[in-house]
Each structure stands twice: as structure tokens, then as C-alpha cells.
Amino acid sequence: MDFKTHLKEGKIKKINKDNLRANNLKKSSKQAIETSKIISLNENTCKTIFRELYEGLREYCEALGYIKGYKFLDHISITYFLDEILNEKEISKKFDRYRKIRNGINYYGEDVDIETVKEALKEIPKIIKELEK
């Protein structure tokens, strides 16, 4: 699959650029990231922290979509957007990795280890900073 295919299949929609919505999503993204940082990290909070981190990253990426004139109807479409439209291949791979971990947590009840969450706490804010450019 690729961006063009997802666009053709309606999983990505071409829309009018929406800077207001993008700014609101960026604000929400920052709030999710900040929330994840103030939750005490332990075995019981790993999933919650990871979900907030992923949510912050996803919202930021969706904001970039609204700036470019795209709406994503699934999360994998964001991977293609990062890779093919923004030409952020490494970030695309990282996003996809985090997407899969989050899906494992949300849809299969999988656990996430503390080390993965610690890594995400460092890496996801850096990814967002890179995307801000």
C-alpha cells in the first residue's frame, strides 16, 4: 500500500486546508505529551502513558495533514503521509512502530514494558520537534 492507493480508496481525503483545526490539534498534542510526562511511571501506568504519548504524536501528525489539505481516516495512512508527502522516512518508520504497539495494547490487551515507555517518553517529543520544522 501507499499514499496514492489510500487516497484512491478513500482512507485519506483531500480537503480544504484548515489551519484552525491544525492549531487546535497541535495544542491537544502538546497537552497529551505533557500529561504523559507527569504520570508516575510504573507497571500499572505503562499502558496509559504510552497511549497518551501515541495520541499526542498522532494528533500532531493529523495537524500536519490539515495544514497540507488531508484528512486521515485510519492511522496507517499517517505512516504513508509522513513517508511520501513529508519525505520523513525515519519518522514514518518510528510512527508505524508506535502505532503497532498501541494497537497491541488497545485491541489485543498486550502489555508494554517500562523500557519501551521510557524510550517513547524521550523519542516522541523529539519526533514532534523534528516535524515542527
Q: Show pLDDT as tens, one digit a residue, over the chain (133 residues).
A: 899 999 999 999 999 999 999 999 999 999 999 999 999 999 999 999 999 999 999 999 999 999 999 999 999 999 999 999 999 999 999 999 999 999 999 999 999 999 999 999 999 999 999 999 8
For residue 116, give Cα distances in angstroms to 43, 49, 76: 12, 11, 21
Q: Which pLDDT belongs to residue 64?
A: 98
Q: What is the pLDDT of residue 133?
A: 85
| pLDDT confidence of residue 28 | 98
State the pTM of this model: 0.96
Cell 495537524, located at residue: 63
Torsion of CA 118, 96, 59, 121, to 10 degrees: 10
Q: What is the pLDDT of residue 1?
A: 83
pLDDT in the model for residue 121: 98
Q: Which domains does the chain have, with CATH numbers?
A: 3-9+17-132 (1.20.120.330)
